[in-house]
Structure 1
């Protein structure tokens, strides 16, 4: 987050976004929605009932231009007669019957067939309904990054499974994509090329190509950490991970993925025109953050305060080639605090649980809310458990796009009430009524609370974030 502020005066009157900036940003939102239309990918194996249920949900959501069902079961000829849709036309659905079970490869093959330039994928046993809007909005705001969803323990594990070496432009991390993910079609196309080039002598590992996908993108995935839920009846049929030698192949794939990437980034490729190199450049728009969407999928709460300084973990391929394997799982002692106080705790509708920074915050760190699109006249609240003195020393910054920020220095539209929590801890309820904000600040997508003015601060604690639907507030 940069420190672009303007028209800041000692009397705390400052001018916000102009009408031109507002309309330009709204138009850009529309353009992104049109440009990054999505194709939903569903893989069928044995659970036809789960596939039908997933298709109905995807049709009802109205988020997808098309749905591709890839049938990995050569013993079944799948057709649209199995679909019992809720008054939806089936024109947007395509079924591809594979002649063999190509396992992980199927989702990337299906994505290359998409008419859109981006694809959504989720396994048919996960319920994505309570974070899908947030995942899509997050992707469109930063489309050159893999976006995915996982649980807090796996999120923390993936932080450990990151790799940085600035000397060779290595900056990558791991993410599973089965709980819900969005990625560009060109990434799927390139991934299939990589598999044929770098795994041509390891055909058995191509079946586990998900393990290679995120690592070979050479960028840290953007992940929502959520309480994820299986769909009812999803335990029918055997899973790929329960097959013989899966763990052995998984370990081998994890080691090989980083070895291939590290070798190719280190290799001088300038004189080899036939060599397909891995990307050295990061195209992400935003820094890596910890983030969670609200229970109603209305907004994302996020922070750039990580439980681990991932870019400071030294990496040497000779010693650290097993970093991304099950030999390097976090202990419960290490991950316990994060799981108990992750960003998820600020959006679980329970003021007794809180997101905590876990340490004194540093200059430039922040917590923030992404309301998914530009909104006007928002009414929302925070419940904090850090001191009110600390809160008053945070800069309140607003943005239409997450890149250009203006500091809101006035107090108009902001009210604070103290309350005792059920655990008898002092909490403060802060209500933000943007209808009363100064001119130019009524509309925004992002709000951040930034430590840019301070050099030494205590721990931050946010216990609840909520959009208030009624303008008349009777209880807090």
Structure 2
């Protein structure tokens, strides 16, 4: 007989049983207990309270854009405070520019800098936050639409950097990863300006790193974003999204347009990995003032590609990547330019990814589908994170792959994405076929957890796992829609 403790696993790509199928209607399938539900809900609330957030914005010349960004942040009601660091010493920024806003301005804190610190200012602002984590975005990006998803994702795995980027940059960042198991090197690059969340202690530590490791390269401190993600020595968790500019952001020059920016970026990219690699290769210093780089991975989850839907209701994600990042060879003596613009994706490599990326599963368009691009391998999965534990949820999943393949995957449910139980019954699951506009057959699967077996009415994560080697083709997910969901509940 199954129970949660005997048949749980910390990643969704392991089978709960060697024989799990959809046709298990006659099996006894015990789900989560009431105690496990209550404890998981308490844990969810504790994480929300512990990881309260401060929002950080930089101001230079685009005052109208900053006002627009602040309005979005205030309307979201997701932040304990909003810190605006004014990098322009010629402007004394005050709250008067926000007075047309209908929200209280009490949560806004403005820091007027005596000099333009460029990128470094982001980390100085976060270091002064009242909360233990910060949300940051540049003043020219609209980050309103993935906010809830990004925050929910961060709270499940708070010890890694979480960020948002576009498909081209996401693919590039896959190429800009570094692994060397001999020295515990496992890092990757991510810009943070399109929306990101990280711990305040990481910002504080980064400021120390800059003073220690760039004391002979003061001109590169201004580009400290290039160093930040690399020096965390942990692959960032990145959302693959269609990012968009704020309407008021088109005026005034950006930081990246300054003279020698590309040259400085190139130098910084090389120096960042060289400093990290050298530090990890050396024995740790006994000097108590020495601040070394972390050698251990802090992430709780395997690296995945993720996209949230336009309504910011859920996250679709998969561990099937177009590049096996851990198998990219790296030798510092000859691969030091791996994370520079000398190593950008070719159109041939990028084409399939762009056409069939995870965004295509959540774009409300049945003509477009996320595709894995090859036969599914054992241990691979696609999954949905509904952002918080939900009860009596109903949603539909439209797939383009064969029904034979779908019958050969395990359907696993979880409260936290770490411990999973396989749902073996057909109760609450209905399937119908329909033709797409391209005359390809699609299968629409409706999941109504109200009708699921006892113990399965509540969950946050659902994963579809290829637990066996299958020659049955590739995964294709064309649409996901929430039909009904429960309101957020408190205990």
Partner of 1:90: 105
Task: Give distance in 1, aligned partners of 2:415 and 2:16.
Answer: 14
The answer to whether 1:241 aligns with 2:243 is: no
Matches within 5 A, 1:97-116: 97-116=112-131
Q: Is the 8 A contact 1:148 1:180 kept in 2?
A: yes
The answer to whether 1:421 aligns with 2:429 is: no
Partner of 2:212: 197
Q: Is the 8 A contact 1:361 1:456 kept in 2?
A: yes
Partner of 2:283: 268
Partner of 2:375: 360
Task: Give distance in 2, aligned partners of 1:299 and 1:85.
Answer: 33
Q: Is the 8 A contact 1:363 1:456 kept in 2?
A: no
| Structure of higher RCO (CA pairs closer than 8 Å, 6+ residues apart) | 2
Matches within 5 A, 1:378-457: 378-457=393-472
* Structure 1: tracts of 5 or more residues without a match: 472-476
CA-CA distance at 1:55 after TM superposition: 1.2
The answer to whether 1:219 aligns with 2:219 is: no
Partner of 1:37: 52
Return the TM-score normalized by structure 2: 0.94
Partner of 1:253: 268
Cα distance change, pair 455–386 in 1 and its aligned pair in 2 (3 A) = closer
Q: Is the 8 A contact 1:120 1:180 kept in 2?
A: yes
What secondary structure is seen at the aligned counterpart in 1 of 2:386?
strand
Task: Give distance in 2, aligned partners of 1:142 and 1:266.
Answer: 27
CA-CA distance at 1:407 after TM superposition: 0.1
- Deviation string, structure 1 residues 301-341 (Cα, Å, up to 9, x no partner): 00000100000111000010000000000011101100111
Matches within 5 A, 1:160-171: 160-171=175-186
Partner of 1:474: none
CA-CA distance at 1:295 after TM superposition: 1.0
Partner of 1:185: 200
Task: Give distance in 2, aligned partners of 1:53 and 1:312.
Answer: 43
* Structure 2: tracts of 5 or more residues without a match: 1-10, 487-491
Q: Is the 8 A contact 2:15 2:467 kept in 1?
A: no
Task: Give distance in 2, aligned partners of 1:469 and 1:443.
Answer: 13
Task: Give distance in 1, aligned partners of 2:268 and 2:372.
Answer: 34
The answer to whether 1:131 aligns with 2:140 is: no
Partner of 2:482: 467
Task: Give distance in 2, aligned partners of 1:120 and 1:141.
Answer: 15
Task: Give distance in 1, aligned partners of 2:95 and 2:485.
Answer: 44
The answer to whether 1:52 aligns with 2:67 is: yes
What secondary structure is seen at the aligned counterpart in 2 of 1:195?
helix
Task: Give distance in 2, aligned partners of 1:4 and 1:396.
Answer: 9
CA-CA distance at 1:468 after TM superposition: 1.2
TM-align CA RMSD: 1.6
Q: Is the 8 A contact 2:163 2:194 kept in 1?
A: yes
Aligned with residue 304 of structure 2, among 274, 289, 297: 289
Task: Give distance in 1, aligned partners of 2:91 and 2:286.
Answer: 48
Matches within 5 A, 1:343-354: 343-354=358-369
The worse-fitting range, judged by mean Cα deviation, of 227-236 and 159-168 is: 227-236
- Deviation string, structure 1 residues 125-170 (Cα, Å, up to 9, x no partner): 1111111110000000100010000000100000000000000000
The worse-fitting range, judged by mean Cα deviation, of 49-58 and 359-368 is: 49-58
Q: Is the 8 A contact 1:362 1:457 kept in 2?
A: no
